[in-house]
Amino acid sequence: MSGRLLSATTLKGEETFAFDPASNLLDPKAPRRPIHHPPPKLLDNLLRDYVGQHYTYDARGNLLERLDKGKKARFTWDLYDRLTRYEDDRLTADFAYDALGRRVAKYSKAHCPPSPGAGPAWIEQQQRTLNAQYDCGQNIYGWDGDTLAYETRYSDNPGERRLIHYFYEPGSFIPVAQTVENRSLSLVREPSHENGYHIDRDPLWQHQPVAKPFNAIAWYQCDHLGTPMELTDQRGEIAWSATYQAWGLAKEKRTDSAIRENIRNPLRFQGQYFDTETGLHYNRYRYYDPQVGRFISKDPIGFAGGLNVYAYAPNPVGWVDPFGLAKRGPVPGGQGPHNEVIAQWGREAT
């Protein structure tokens, strides 16, 4: 496959990359060892080691453990190869999905080490402090088809509650704006229907939502692929910005006003949502690791998405994969894939 990214120069410096013939990322700094035995004829395309990190997989090709500088992270999967739990020495995060495989909930909690002699009040305060430090809490997500429409954070602390709605360019995954409300979304309680179902008693049909004003609005400035670069607030000032490494690892900057107004941005490459707990990007059907530019599980559609079932794209400069299924690149006529993903899907990588 041509068009692989070999080097990138950003504000953070120069990055270099090396690949094997199957487009697997190689450690460019690894020493070249002589080959005493011929390579196996069948390769699994699994990334075992990269820049000091070691990876272990289960029999289905899902990432089980990640060892980085002596710190171990563990991953748990369900029978549908969906990530359901992440755990390391800092925290535990659990994930839930709807019948269509869209992630609808995330609950994370920091590990609070026991302290002999500490009272319940001190332990509770320490738990809150650690949760805030690692941005742990309970999030619910709502969808408009395959695009994330809103997320809400629930918390006993009113200052940590938020409801963020996302707005996109028509027929695309490119964000245009977000609105922020300093409250949690009110959920409708599910009835038991012990006396039989009747539509007149169904709270979903009878519920009358009331429009409420938002506390802040921010506008996205994206690059040619639809990756958010900046957020400007209602005053026209930059509230959030990011510098990216080649494969999407971001270094964020939030202003004091953005922190006060709860303006933040977890959106990354098209269709991706950054999880602070794991460092991964949720990419609809899979999870993407921006440190290595690969997915951590096999492609659900198999070889229909490409010969390498873990690869993201030949390069992140001209290609996108909003669903985590199949990369799409430039289309004839010189247009980019950013506005073709849903409408025409561009052309497949070959």
DSSP 8-state class, residue 220: E
Residue 140 within a domain: yes
Determine the longest span between alpha carbons in the chain, in angstroms.
Answer: 76
Taking phi over 0 as left and psi of -120 to 50 as alpha, with beta for the rest, 144 belongs to beta
Residue 29 within a domain: no
Tell me the whole-structure pTM to 2 decimals.
0.83
How many Å apart are CA 141 and CA 147, to the nearest integer? 11
Q: Which range of residues forms the domain containing residue 58? A: 51-188+207-339
Whether the Cβ atoms of residue 323 and residue 283 lie closer than 8 Å to each other: yes
CA distances from 228 to 162, 176, 220, 258, 303 (A): 21, 9, 6, 16, 30
Residue 154 within a domain: yes
Residue 177 within a domain: yes
Residue 94 within a domain: yes
Residue 45 within a domain: no
Residue 255 within a domain: yes
Give the sign of the dihedral formed by CA 316, CA 321, CA 322, CA 325.
Answer: negative
Whether the Cβ atoms of residue 44 and residue 36 lie closer than 8 Å to each other: no
| The CA-based dihedral angle spanning residues 107, 113, 118, 120, taken in that order and rounded to the nearest 10 degrees | 10
Indicate the SS3 state at residue 125: helix
Q: Residue 274 belongs to a domain with what CATH number?
A: 2.180.10.10
Per-residue pLDDT of the chain (350 residues; tens, 9 = 90+): 456 666 666 665 666 666 665 556 666 555 555 555 554 443 467 888 887 889 999 999 999 999 998 899 999 999 999 999 999 999 999 999 999 999 999 999 999 988 888 888 888 999 999 999 999 999 999 999 999 999 999 988 888 899 999 999 998 999 999 999 999 998 888 888 888 888 888 888 888 888 899 999 999 999 999 999 999 999 999 999 999 999 999 999 999 999 999 999 999 999 999 999 999 999 999 999 999 999 999 999 999 998 899 999 988 988 999 999 999 886 555 454 444 444 444 444 44
Which amino acid would we find at residue 70? Answer: G
Q: pLDDT value at position 118?
A: 81
Buried b (16+ CB within 10 A) or exposed e, 204-238: eeeeeeeeeeeebbbbbebeebbbbbbbbbeeeeb
CA-closest candidate to residue 294, choices 20, 41, 104: 20
- Number of independent structural domains in the chain: 1
Residue 83 within a domain: yes
CA-closest candidate to residue 106, choices 75, 137, 135: 137
CA distances from 303 to 78, 231, 286, 311, 350 (A): 22, 37, 15, 11, 11
